[in-house]
């Protein structure tokens, strides 16, 4: 289990040399962090040169890609997971460096991830792209914090620009879980937050589809069960809103990489040991994700009291 806390230049808008340095810094830090935390860089043919990445113009989903694989027990025993990350700038009239996520169960050594019925298939289409990007333009030349947690070479959570007030973004790729929170070989769940839109996307990919063609429909709202009170403390217990994925047969068991807590229950920008699934896990409580937009939480009566948590162990 590995946690990487690092930083990069991000959305520097001027001068031109700073923009180039900013994008190169962003791409290199993201890729290097995933490798350092336990995923395997496949060094895919045609992949982006992280030392000289060219800043993309607006409305560019991809100016280059990297492909990584999980490196956990299941991946190495017949249940592989490959992740293609496309680096771009999806904003229309400004600069929002972005990471589009595509997940598949096989890889051809170049840019193709997933074959027939083995890819999410929604990372390459405009309206339903699973993209991680921030919702605000940082100051030129400033460093912004990123957090990556990869559990035993498998499940991954990422929080981008956590110190960009009110505009941080997140994503995760997580294997399915049983009722005790243990990893299963059923499939993977993927979630991304595009804070620029703003929009949330979540979908699934199963090793054994129930039909000949697996075309999951991406969810656009977070599903979770959580307290609606300002503080969830009651009899020394806390309410933790772990995400509930919807798969082809209905609600799946709760995930573990990402969730929500009440902001008044915790001091933010800190880690805590929280008991979930009767197992103690360490979570980082973000200060800047408040989910005040309707793409994340439908009930606006208490959206601003929610904080994102991400496993950090």
- Tell me the pLDDT band of 125, cut-offs 50, 70 and 90: very low
**Per the structure, how many domains does the chain have?**
1
pLDDT higher than 90, residue 183: yes
Whole-angstrom distance, CA of residue 234 vs CA of residue 43: 50
Any domain includes 106:
yes
Peptide bond into 15 cis (omega under 30): yes
At residue 70, the 3 state secondary structure works out as: coil
Q: Averaging pLDDT over each range in 12-16, 188-192, 196-200, which range is the top one?
A: 188-192
Residue 172: per-residue pLDDT:
95
Any domain includes 311:
no
Residue 155: per-residue pLDDT:
97
Residue 115: per-residue pLDDT:
58
% of the chain surpassing 90 pLDDT: 36
Residue range 82-118, pLDDT digits in tens: 999 999 887 766 778 889 998 888 888 888 887 554 5
Strand order in the sheet with 279-285: 241-242, 258-262, 306-311, 279-285, 270-276
More confident of the two residues 16 and 79: 79
Number of neighbouring beta carbons within 10 Å of residue 190: 26
Any domain includes 284:
no
Residue 299: per-residue pLDDT:
45
CA 96-48-88 angle, to 5 degrees, is: 15
Residue 117: per-residue pLDDT:
47
Any domain includes 139:
yes
Question: Mean pLDDT over residues 155-175, rounded?
Answer: 91
Any domain includes 230:
no
Any domain includes 234:
no
Residue range 25-41, pLDDT digits in tens: 999 999 999 999 999 99
CA 120-286-174 angle, to 5 degrees, is: 25
- Tell me the pLDDT band of 76, cut-offs 50, 70 and 90: very high
Q: What share of the chain is helix, strand, coil (3-state, %, to 5)?
A: 10, 40, 50
Question: Mean pLDDT over residues 213-224, rounded?
Answer: 68
Any domain includes 87:
yes
Residue 203: per-residue pLDDT:
85
For 17, the domain range is: 2-220
pLDDT higher than 90, residue 164: no
- Tokens coding 34: 């995933």
Number of neighbouring beta carbons within 10 Å of residue 148: 25
Any domain includes 35:
yes
Mean pLDDT of the chain: 82
Q: What contacts 205, CB < 8 A, 6 or more positions away?
A: 103, 104, 105, 114, 118, 119, 120, 187, 188, 190, 214, 216
pLDDT higher than 70, residue 51: yes
Q: Environment class of residue 21 by beta-carbon count within 10 Å: exposed (0-12), middle (13-18) or buried (19+)? A: middle
């Amino acid at each position: 289990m590995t946690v990487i806390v690092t930083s990069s230049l991000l959305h520097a808008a001027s001068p031109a040399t700073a923009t180039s340095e900013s994008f190169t810094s962003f791409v290199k830090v993201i890729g290097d962090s995933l490798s350092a935390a336990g995923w395997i860089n496949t060094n895919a043919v045609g992949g982006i040169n992280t030392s000289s990445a060219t800043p993309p113009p607006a409305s560019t989903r991809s100016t280059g890609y990297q492909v990584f694989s999980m490196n956990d027990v299941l991946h190495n025993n017949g249940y592989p997971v490959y992740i293609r990350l496309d680096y771009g700038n999806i904003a229309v009239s400004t600069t929002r460096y972005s990471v589009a996520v595509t997940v598949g169960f096989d890889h051809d050594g170049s840019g193709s991830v997933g074959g027939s019925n083995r890819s999410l298939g929604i990372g390459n289409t405009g309206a339903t792209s699973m993209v991680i990007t921030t919702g605000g333009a940082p100051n030129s030349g400033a460093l912004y914090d990123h957090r990556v947690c990869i559990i035993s070479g498998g499940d991954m959570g990422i929080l981008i620009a956590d110190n960009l007030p009110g505009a941080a973004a997140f994503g995760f790729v997580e294997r399915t879980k049983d009722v005790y929170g243990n990893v299963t070989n059923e499939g993977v769940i993927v979630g991304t937050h595009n804070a620029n839109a703003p929009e949330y996307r979540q979908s699934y990919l199963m090793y054994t589809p129930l039909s000949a063609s697996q075309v999951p429909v991406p969810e656009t709202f977070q599903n979770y069960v959580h307290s609606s009170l300002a503080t969830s403390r009651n009899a020394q217990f806390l309410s933790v809103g772990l995400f509930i994925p919807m798969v082809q047969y209905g609600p799946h068991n709760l995930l573990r990489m990402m969730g929500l807590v009440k902001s008044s229950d915790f001091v933010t920008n800190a880690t805590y040991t929280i008991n979930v699934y009767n197992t103690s896990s360490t979570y980082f409580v973000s200060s800047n994700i408040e989910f005040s937009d309707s793409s994340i939480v439908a009930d606006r009566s208490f959206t601003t009291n929610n904080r994102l948590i991400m496993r950090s162990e």
